[in-house]
Amino acid sequence: METRARRRPHLFPLLLLLLLLCGECPPVGGCNEKRMLAMLPHCGQTFAERMKKVEVWKWCNLSEFIVYYESFTNCTEVETNVVGCYWPNPLAESFIAGVHRRFFQNCSVDRQHWQDPPDEILIPLIAVPILLTIAMTGVVVWRSKRTDQVV
């Protein structure tokens, strides 16, 4: 046995890497969805307790509770992996969406509606670079035809 280990020293790092990578692999038994659904509310309750520290009017400002939300996300991932399920999965996403509806339903996404500028501004912004390109090309061609004069 000792001679085999000496002949294959390159296998140890490979086995170590395999163990490290499979540390987060779900068990062979598969996903236990019932257990996952029983464990995820713990993450939601912890998040709800932490959100009590944040004033309600600040709930739409992610910078006010980002640490709590990151902890909530990590919790759902860990609990999901512990029961052999992959994360994210439809059930976990549904649970997370429920938490979002509870805490962030009044948060609107302020998206600015972009419009083209008026034609009086848009046309010159398009025409000037085109005319400059044509003019510069003309100057280059004109100067290249005048090879008899040295500048």
pLDDT surpasses 60 at 15: no
pLDDT digits (tens, 9 = 90+) for 66-114: 999 999 999 999 999 999 999 889 999 999 999 999 998 888 766 667 7
Q: List domains and CATH numbers for the chain.
A: 30-105 (1.10.150.510)
Residues sharing a CB contact under 8 Å with residue 81, sequence separation 6 or more, in sequence order: 24, 26, 87
Helix (H, G, I), strand (E, B) or coil at 121: helix
